[in-house]
C-alpha cells in the first residue's frame, strides 16, 4: 500500500538548509523509524527537483518511484519547488502514489527581505540595497502599477516569497487541506523548535537526532558590499555567475567572509508600514485557502532586523573585509600548492626506493 510523501518546498531563507542538513545527517535513524529520505545525498534531490521543473523528469521519476514503493513516510526537501508552475505541481501528483503533504516553511517578511538580498549577492547579483528594496515594493503582489516596468529585483524576490501563490498552486495540485504552512519562530525562540515542528509533520519524535552539520551562513554588511563589487568585476571579466561557483560562493562567501560576520555590522531593516500591511494580507490569504498551520500565525508578523543600512557601511570596513577575503583565497591556493608539491615529492621518493 502506498505511503505518504512530505514534500518540503521552501520558501527560500526559511530554515531550509537547516532542515535539509538534518535530514541527510540522520538518514539511517529516520529509516529505522520508517521515514525514507530518497537520494544518496541532498544534491540528488536538487537534481530531481531541477529535472521536474525543466520537464525532463528522469531524476524526479526515480525519486517518485522510490517514494511510491515505500509503505511509510518519505520526505523530499528542495526550495526550488516553492514557486513551481501548475504543470510541475500536477506532475508531482501524477507520478507519486499515495498521500502527498506539501510543506511551506514561512518566515516573517522583514527578516526575509534582509536575508534574501545578501543571498542574491552570494548568487552573483550586483543589486544595491536601496535598488533591491525599491524593486520589492514596486512588484508587490496586489499592488503593482499595471503599466509600470517590471524590476528584476522585485520579480526575483516575489517569485521566492509570494507564499499565497505558492500555497494556491500546490493546493490546486494536492488539495489545500494537504498544504501545511510551518512558521519559523521569531528570534529568541528555542533553537530546536523549527526541527521539532518539522518532525511533527513527519510523525516522528524530534529527539535523538544528530545536529545539522551545514548552515547556510549569511554575510555582514561590509562583506555583502564586497560580494556585490566582486560580482560586478567578474562580470566585466566575462565570468558571470554561476562560473566559478565553488570559489566565489562556496569558498569566498560562505566560508571566508561568512566566518567574519561577528566582526562586522549586521544588515538592518526597520519595519516599514507596507511590510506590516502585506503580512496581514498574506496571513488572510493563506487562511482563506484553508491550509493547515503548524506553528503560530503571529510568527509571520514582521519584526525589526537589528543592524545598519548596508548602503552606509564605512568604506574602511569594506576594504578590511575585501582584504580578509583576498588573504583567505590566497591561503587556500598556497595550501593546495603545498599539498600538491608534497604529494609529488612523496611519489618521487616511492619511485626511487
The 10s digit of each residue's pLDDT in 195-204 is 999 999 999 9
For residue 248, is it within any domain?
yes
To the nearest 10 degrees (0 to 180), the angle between helices 109-122 and 273-289 is 100
* 311 in Cβ contact with 145 (< 8 Å): no
Measured at the alpha carbon of residue 133, what is the angle toward residues 276 and 114, in degrees to the nearest 5? 75
In this structure, what CATH number is given to the domain that contains residue 122? 3.40.50.300
Question: Does residue 285 share a domain with residue 184?
Answer: yes
Residues 6 or more apart in contact with residue 333 via CB below 8 angstroms: none
Burial (0-12, 13-18, 19+ Cβ within 10 Å), 271: middle
CA distances from 253 to 124, 266, 323, 333 (A): 11, 15, 13, 16
Torsion region of 323: left, alpha or beta (phi above 0 gives left; psi -120 to 50 gives alpha): alpha
Residues 319, 302: one domain? no
Once rounded to an integer, what is the mean pLDDT over residues 260-286?
97
Q: Which domain holds residue 232?
A: 221-264+314-353
Is residue 345 located within the same domain as residue 324? yes
- Report if residue 96 sits inside a domain: yes
How many angstroms separate the CA atoms of 37 and 5, rounded? Answer: 10
CB atoms within 10 A of CB 320: 17
pLDDT value at 208 more than 80: yes
pLDDT, one tens digit per residue, over 310-351 is 999 999 999 999 999 999 999 999 999 999 999 999 888 888
The answer on 318 and 235 residing in a single domain is yes
In this prediction, residue 349 carries a pLDDT of 87
The reply to whether 338 falls in a domain is: yes
Classify each residue of 54-89 as buried b or exposed e, where b means 16 or more C-beta atoms within 10 Å of its C-beta.
eeeeebbebbbeebeebeebbbbbbbbbbbbeeebb
Shared-domain flag, residues 60 and 42: yes
- Percentage of the chain beyond pLDDT 70 is 99
230 shares a domain with 123? no
Ranges 56-70, 118-132, 146-160, 211-225, most confident: 118-132
**Statement to judge: residues 181 and 43 lie in one domain:** yes
Q: Are residues 61 and 100 in the same domain?
A: yes
pLDDT attached to residue 1: 66
**Residue 140 belongs to some domain of the structure:** no
48 and 110 belong to one structural domain: yes
Same-domain check for residues 161 and 194: yes
241-266 burial: b if 16+ Cβ within 10 Å, else e: beeeeeebbebbbbebbbebbeebbb
SS3 99: strand
Task: Say yes or no: 100 and 210 in one domain.
Answer: yes
Is it the case that residue 214 has pLDDT exceeding 90?
no
Say which residue, 267 or 348, is predicted with more confidence: 267
pLDDT of residue 44: 94
Asked whether residue 215 carries a pLDDT value surpassing 80, the answer given is no
Asked whether residue 132 is assigned to any structural domain, the reply reads no
What is the residue-averaged pLDDT of the chain? 95
- CA dist 146 and 159 (Å) reads 18
Q: What number is the average pLDDT over the span 271-284? A: 98
How many domains does the chain contain in total?
2
Please list, residue by residue across 144-176, b when 16 or more beta carbons sit within 10 angstroms of its beta carbon and e when fewer do.
eeeeeeebebbebbbebbbbbebbbbbbebbeb
Same domain, 97 and 239: no
Instruction: Write down the residue that cell numbers 501528483 correspond to.
Output: 93
- Considering the domain boundaries, does residue 118 fall inside one? yes
Q: pTM of this prediction? A: 0.93
Please indicate, yes or no, if residue 110 is contained in any of the structural domains: yes
Q: Is 89 within a domain?
A: yes
Amino acid at each position: 500500500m502506498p505511503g505518504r510523501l512530505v514534500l518540503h518546498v521552501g520558501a527560500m531563507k526559511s530554515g531550509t538548509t537547516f532542515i535539509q542538513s538534518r535530514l541527510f545527517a540522520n538518514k539511517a535513524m529516520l529509516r529505522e523509524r520508517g521515514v525514507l529520505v530518497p537520494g544518496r545525498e541532498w544534491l540528488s534531490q536538487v537534481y530531481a527537483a531541477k529535472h521536474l521543473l525543466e520537464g525532463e523528469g528522469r531524476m524526479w521519476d526515480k525519486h517518485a518511484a522510490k517514494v511510491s514503493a515505500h509503505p511509510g513516510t518519505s520526505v523530499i526537501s528542495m526550495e526550488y519547488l516553492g514557486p513551481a508552475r501548475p504543470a510541475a505541481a500536477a506532475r508531482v501528483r501524477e507520478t507519486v502514489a499515495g498521500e502527498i503533504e506539501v510543506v511551506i516553511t514561512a518566515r516573517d517578511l522583514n527578516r526575509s527581505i534582509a536575508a534574501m538580498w545578501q543571498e542574491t549577492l552570494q548568487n552573483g547579483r550586483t543589486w544595491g540595497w536601496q535598488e533591491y528594496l525599491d524593486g520589492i515594493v514596486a512588484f508587490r503582489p496586489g499592488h503593482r502599477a499595471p503599466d509600470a516596468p517590471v524590476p528584476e529585483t522585485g520579480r526575483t524576490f516575489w517569485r521566492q516569497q509570494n507564499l499565497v501563490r505558492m500555497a494556491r498552486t500546490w493546493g490546486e495540485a494536492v488539495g489545500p487541506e494537504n498544504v501545511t504552512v510551518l512558521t519559523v519562530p521569531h528570534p529568541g525562540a528555542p533553537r530546536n523548535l523549527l526541527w521539532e515542528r518539522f518532525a511533527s509533520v513527519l510523525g516522528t519524535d524530534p529527539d535523538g537526532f544528530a545536529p545539522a552539520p551545514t548552515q547556510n551562513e549569511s554575510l555582514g554588511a561590509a562583506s555583502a558590499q564586497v560580494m556585490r563589487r566582486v560580482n560586478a568585476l567578474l562580470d566585466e571579466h566575462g565570468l558571470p555567475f554561476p562560473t566559478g561557483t565553488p570559489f566565489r560562493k562556496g569558498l569566498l562567501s560562505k566560508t571566508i567572509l561568512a566566518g567574519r560576520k561577528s566582526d562586522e555590522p549586521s544588515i538592518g531593516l526597520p519595519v516599514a508600514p507596507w511590510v506590516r500591511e502585506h503580512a496581514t494580507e498574506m496571513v488572510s490569504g493563506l487562511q482563506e485557502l484553508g491550509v493547515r498551520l503548524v506553528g503560530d500565525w503571529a510568527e509571520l508578523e514582521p519584526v525589526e532586523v537589528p543592524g545598519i543600512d548596508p548602503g552606509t557601511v564605512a568604506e574602511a570596513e569594506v576594504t578590511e573585509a575585501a582584504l580578509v577575503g583576498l588573504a583567505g583565497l590566497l591561503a587556500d591556493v598556497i595550501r593546495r600548492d603545498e599539498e600538491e608539491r608534497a604529494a609529488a615529492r612523496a611519489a618521487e621518493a616511492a619511485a626511487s626506493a
